[in-house]
């Protein structure tokens, strides 16, 4: 399934890591106009489309808003995106890594991360290790090893009122710096999420308000949330496809909304004082807007087809997995059955051997 997912033509993101001698082609079927990749190595690039040529898969790429051309991506690192998740930095474990150095991201990360709620929006696999992208208020702060980040884990733990410290303090933010002012009578408290390393939790108080608390203020608290499961590479790539589709849909909706608002404005009969030059310009803009609208409509339909195809492939893969599990279960049952039969045969052989020895001894005595 992994190979199938790699053939889907959708917008991806990569960190460009290729041989310096490799070139970017202006046209996929021509090596006449070539661009050096030196200025774009270890930069985040976005793929616009993909096309097979002479047995190789080429990607049409852009850097920021600049379209560059076509290139075969062999060693580049795919950025696997997903909806944002909350983490905190584990200060005592933190150290910078060569990825950020290669990307020329040099800063005092701890001073930026300390006490902050970090948003993780994607991951990469580098030297067989997982690194997460860190954002604070939509600003990118590099990739960091998963072991230096403390995930916010969801839970559902009712806490008896008698287990709370008499002076328990409720806070408005996760770094526990903005206490809730005034007296707050706690009748019921339930932990709904926790940072296990930071020992900070979000609690629903009196079944209505959410606040942050220091977990040390709860007596005899034992968190048994188990290990956080890691998704397979296939699941991560599926998440990336859905992320791309949803992102494109969101952009399309925003553009279509802008186009329709512009069309309404241009067609507003109240604007009678428009000069002839303005009217000609408005007519020209209307054609462009109609063209863009039809283009976005076509893109939306194609994205819908891709989503339906991807969903179908996922269901087929799940069905095959269930069949494989069922086959494995039946095979295991046959093994157990065979094992029991062998044990019975061995027991009978032992009894037969004992009887033979007994008979032999009697014969010898005679």
274 φ, ψ to 5°? -70, 135
Domain ranges within the chain, ordered by starting residue = 2-78, 152-217, 239-325
Phi-psi region of 140 (alpha: psi -120 to 50; beta: other; left: phi over 0): beta
Q: Which of 106-120, 159-173, 321-335 bottoms out in mean pLDDT, i.e. has the lowest?
A: 321-335
Architecture of the domain delimited by 2-78: Roll (2.30)
Quote the pTM value.
0.70
Query: Given a cut of 70, is residue 273 above it in pLDDT?
Result: no
DSSP state of 146: G
Q: What is the mean pLDDT of the chain?
A: 85
**Model confidence band, residue 303 (pLDDT cutoffs 50, 70, 90):** low
The pLDDT of residue 101: 95
Q: Which of 24-33, 229-238, 336-345 bottoms out in mean pLDDT, i.e. has the lowest?
A: 336-345
Question: What is the number of alpha carbons within 13 Å of residue 63 lying toward its C-beta?
Answer: 15
**Model confidence band, residue 297 (pLDDT cutoffs 50, 70, 90):** low
What is the separation of C-alpha 261 from the centre of its chain, rounded to a whole number of angstroms? 34
DSSP state of 179: B
DSSP state of 187: S
Question: From CA 327, how far away is CA 316, in angstroms rounded?
Answer: 16
Query: Given a cut of 80, is residue 2 above it in pLDDT?
Result: no
**Model confidence band, residue 293 (pLDDT cutoffs 50, 70, 90):** low
175 φ, ψ to 5°? -85, 5
């Amino acid at each position: 399934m992994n190979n199938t997912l790699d053939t889907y033509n959708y917008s991806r993101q990569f960190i460009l890591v290729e041989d310096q001698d490799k070139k970017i082609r202006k046209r996929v079927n021509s090596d006449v106009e070539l661009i050096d990749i030196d200025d774009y190595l270890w930069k985040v690039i976005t793929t616009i489309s993909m096309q097979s040529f002479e047995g190789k898969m080429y990607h049409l790429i852009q850097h920021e808003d600049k379209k560059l051309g076509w290139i075969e991506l062999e060693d580049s690192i795919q950025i696997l995106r997903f909806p944002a998740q909350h983490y905190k930095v584990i200060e005592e474990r933190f150290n910078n890594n060569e990825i950020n150095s290669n990307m020329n991201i040099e800063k005092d990360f701890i001073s930026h991360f300390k006490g902050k709620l970090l948003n993780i929006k994607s991951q990469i696999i580098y030297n067989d290790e997982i690194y997460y992208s860190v954002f604070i208020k939509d600003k990118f702060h590099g990739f960091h090893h998963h072991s230096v980040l403390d995930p916010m884990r969801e839970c559902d733990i009712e806490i008896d009122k008698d287990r709370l410290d008499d002076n328990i303090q409720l806070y408005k933010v996760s770094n526990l710096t903005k206490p809730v002012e005034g007296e707050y009578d706690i009748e019921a408290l339930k932990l709904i999420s926790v940072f296990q390393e930071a020992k900070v939790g979000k609690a629903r108080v009196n079944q209505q308000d959410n606040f942050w608390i220091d977990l040390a203020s709860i007596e005899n608290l034992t968190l048994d949330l188990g290990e956080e499961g890691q998704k397979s590479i296939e699941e991560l790539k599926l998440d990336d496809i859905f992320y791309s589709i949803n992102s494109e849909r969101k952009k399309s909706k925003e553009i279509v909304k802008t186009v329709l608002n512009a069309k309404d404005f241009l067609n507003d009969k109240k604007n009678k004082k428009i000069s002839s030059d303005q009217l000609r310009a408005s007519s020209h803009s209307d054609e462009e807007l109609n063209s863009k609208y039809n283009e976005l409509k076509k893109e939306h339909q194609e994205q819908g087809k891709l989503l339906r195809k991807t969903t179908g492939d996922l269901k087929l893969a799940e069905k095959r997995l269930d069949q494989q599990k069922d086959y494995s279960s039946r095979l295991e049952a046959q093994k157990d059955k065979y094992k029991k039969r062998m044990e019975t045969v061995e027991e009978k052989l032992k009894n037969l051997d004992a009887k033979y020895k007994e008979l032999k001894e009697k014969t010898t005595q005679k």
